[in-house]
Amino acid sequence: MTYCVGMLLNRGIVFMSDTRSNAGIDNISTFCKLHTWSLPGSSALTLLTSGNLATTQAVVSLLDERSKAQDRREPTLLKAESMFQAARVVANTLHEVIDERGNQGPQSEGPFAATLILGGQIKPGPSRLFMIYPEGNFIEAGPDTPFFQIGEMKYGRPILVRAYDPGMSFEDAMKLLLVSFDSTLKANLTVGAPFDFHIYETDRFEIGRTGRIELEDPYFQSVSKGWGDALRSALDSIPAFRFDA
C-alpha cells in the first residue's frame, strides 16, 4: 500500500508520499514514490505514484527517457504546453504500460493498476493538480476539492478535511500532512516512513524544497507524540455529554 497527498495552496503545491512498497506482508521495501521533472524557468512537475510498483516504475522510466531524448520521441512531458497536456502525456503513458503487460502472457493475480497525482506549473499557466486513474482519464483539483490522496487515504483524511486552509503557510501544510501521515502510519502496516516531500512555490518554475523525513526525525517524533496529547485536549474542550436525567 501507499499514502500520498498532493495539496493545492494559494502559495503553491505541497506533495508528500510514504516510501513503503510491499508484496505480501513479509516482503516490504523502501521505494521513492515522488518524482520531479523541470525545465528551470519554464516548468516544474511532480508525480506521486501508488499501485503496482512495476507499473509505476515503468511509467516514471518512460517519462524520464522520453524527456531526455526529446528530439527522438514525441510527445514528451517537458515539451507539454500546459499542465493539462502534461497530464495527458502521463495518463497515456500509464495506460500504455498497463495495456502492454495486462493483456498478454502469464496473468498476474493482482491487477497492474496504478493511480497517480500530477501537479506543477508550466509557463504561462497557473499551478494545477491532477489525479490520474489507471484507465488513463483524470480529474483536476479546484477550490472545492483542493487536495488529492491516493493509497490508504481514509485514516488520514478527517484531519485534512477539518484543518486544510488554502491560505496556510508551507510550514503549516507540512505539519498538517505529517499529522495525517502519522495517523495513517499508526493504523496501517503497509504505509511506512520515511516520507518524501516537495514544496512547489507558484511562479518559481523550478523544483523547490525537497527532502525526506525519517521516522527518527526529532520534529516528526514531536508531532507523533504531541498529537495524542493535543487530541485529548481537543476532546476535553468539547462540552461534556449528558444523559437525560
> Is-contact 196 210, C-beta < 8 A?
yes
For 222, the grid coordinates are: 514531536
Q: Distance between CA atoms of 167 and 8, rounded to whole angstroms? A: 10
Minimum separation from the CB atom of position 158 to its own copies (A): 4
Minimum separation from the CB atom of position 72 to its own copies (A): 39
Contacting residues toward its own copies, per CB under 8 A = 154-159, 161-163, 170-172, 174-176, 178-179, 183, 186-187, 199, 209, 211, 219, 222-223, 226-228, 230-235, 237-244
Amino acid identity, residue 47? L
Minimum separation from the CB atom of position 226 to its own copies (A): 5
Amino acid identity, residue 112? F
**DSSP β-ladder status, 43-51 and 34-39:** antiparallel
Beta carbon nearer to its own copies, 21 or 184: 184
In angstroms, the Cα distances linking 99 to 90, 95, 96, 112 are: 14, 6, 5, 9
Q: Is the peptide bond before 146 cis (omega within 30 degrees of 0)?
A: no
Minimum separation from the CB atom of position 112 to its own copies (A): 25
